[in-house]
Each structure stands twice: as C-alpha cells, then as structure tokens.
Amino acid sequence: SQTIHQWPATLVQPVGSPLSLECTVEGTSNPNLYWYRQAAGRGLQLLFYSVGIGQISSEVPQNLSASRPQDRQFILSSKKLLLSDSGFYLCAWSEGRGRQPQHFGDGTRLSIL
Amino acid sequence: AQKITQTQPGMFVQEKEAVTLDCTYDTSDQSYGLFWYKQPSSGEMIFLIYQGSYDEQNATEGRYSLNFQKARKSANLVISASQLGDSAMYFCACLRSGGSYIPTFGRGTSLIVHP
C-alpha cells in the first residue's frame, strides 16, 4: 500500500533563517506531488505541484521554492523565512492519471519567531 | 475556473443522529470528480468519498454517503449515526478531467458532535 511521510511535525524557526521540509511517498511511482499551506481556521492554499522529476509549478509568488530531486521526494525550501510564512504545511500525492483523490501527509506546523 | 461553495461555516449534531454538510460547485466541464475530506484537530487530511460526474448512483463509504444532484450542482455529504470522532473540519473539492491535476477546495465546514 502507499504511504506518505512528511517531516518534521513541528518546527520553530527565527525570522531570516532557512527552511527545508521534506516529503516522501512509498508504494507508487510517478505520483503527482503537492505542497499546501493552511492558515489557522482557513482553507488550503496550493503552493507548488509537480507532475514529474524536476517539473515544478508555482501557484503563488512568494519566498518559498520547491524541488523534486527524486520521483517520490518533494522538498519545500526557503532561504530566508518571513513572519508571514508561519502556518500549517501539508504535502500530498495523487495518482498521475484520472480523477484520483489526494492523499495527505500529517503536516508540519511552522512557527516563525 | 471552478468554484466550490460550502455555506455552513459550522454545524452541530447530536451523537447518533445524521447530519448533512452542503457543497455546491460551479464548473463548465462535463467530466469531473467530487471529493470530500475530513481534517481532525490533529491536522491530517483524510480522504472520505468520491463521486464521478457520470456516476448514476450516489457514492457510499460506510457511514458516509454523497447526495449528488448534478442538475443543481450539489454534492452534499451525509454522515449517518454521528460519532464523537466525527468532530472535525470537512472539505469538499472538485477535480476536472482532461489533464488538470489541481483540485479546487471549498473553505470547509466545522462539525461538532455533541454527546
């Protein structure tokens, strides 16, 4: 069966520090991969998605970036965090074809001080 | 562009009763899929149920069923015999066919189940 791992679960970082959140998927190949951010009590905001290695699409201009160095690995990064980057970050995957549901990781709660 | 509307920001239900969470969608596509997700307070998003636009029967998954009314563009989630563990945020989403990989999510409905 397929599983998705996202870490860390919680992160507290100072303003201006770098960020690296990692997400890996097991049990499937060539998945679509997604990074979402969710502000407290709000809906999901799509940040990045990828349909293949090295293929990254950005939905919202920001100081974050994403990379997909391997088929089942998706990384969210920042060189310098802002206070506004605080939030709950969710990684998700879906099958590459058809109308397939997304499957989410457990999320990372990021607090910027 | 697609749009998902969840008009109920919060809902309350007594344990063991049924509850309906509303979702209306706006799409010009003929082929699409509708999804419901549950997000407990711990944060993870859990896929609950799927309905295809060409499916003639309403989808069911255990205590969850989807009341799909295509002409009205509604896809309401019905939870039967509510349990305390059903307390969570619920999100409706739509994904069109034809190469799009990005679902459109509603803003969610908070459900609280009272004992």
Predicted confidence (pLDDT) per residue in A89-108, tens digit: 999 999 877 778 999 999 99
State residue A99's pLDDT score: 79
| Closest by Cβ to A99, choosing from B33, B37, B45 | B33
**pLDDT classification of B111: cutoffs 50, 70, 90:** very high
Amino acid at A83: L
Mean pLDDT confidence for A66-85: 95
State residue A112's pLDDT score: 95
Given CB atoms, is B64 within the 8 Å cutoff of chain A? Answer: no
Amino acid at B19: V
Separation in Å, CA of A107 to nearest CA in chain B: 6
Mean pLDDT confidence for B69-96: 96
pLDDT tens, residue by residue, A12-69? 999 999 999 999 999 999 999 999 999 877 889 999 999 999 899 988 767 899 999 9
| Mean pLDDT score of chain B | 93
- The SS3 of residue A10 is strand
B101 with A109: Cβ contact below 8 A: no
Residues of chain B with Cβ-Cβ distance to A44 below 8 Å are 45, 91, 105
State residue B100's pLDDT score: 66
**pLDDT classification of B98: cutoffs 50, 70, 90:** low
Per-residue b or e along A82-93, where b marks 16 or more CB atoms closer than 10 Å to that residue's CB:
eeebbbbbbbbb
Mutate to test the interface with B, among A1, A102, A111 (most CBs of B within 10 A): A102
CB contact at 8 A, B85 and B109: no
- The SS3 of residue A108 is strand
CA-CA distances (angstroms) from residue B46 to A17, A101, B43, B86? 32, 10, 9, 12
Residues of chain B with Cβ-Cβ distance to A107 below 8 Å are 43-44
Closest residue in B to A97 (Cα) is B99
Contacts of B51 (CB under 8 A, 6+ apart): B33, B34, B35, B58, B59, B66, B68, B75
Closest residue in A to B45 (Cα) is A104
Q: Classify burial at A62, counting beta carbons within 10 Å of its beta carbon; exposed 0-12, middle 13-18, buried 19 or more.
A: middle
- Asked if pLDDT for residue B15 goes beyond 90, the answer is yes
CB contact at 8 A, A52 and A30: yes
B95 with A51: Cβ contact below 8 A: no
A43 with B42: Cβ contact below 8 A: no
> What does DSSP say about strands A32-38 and B24-26: parallel, antiparallel, or unpaired?
unpaired
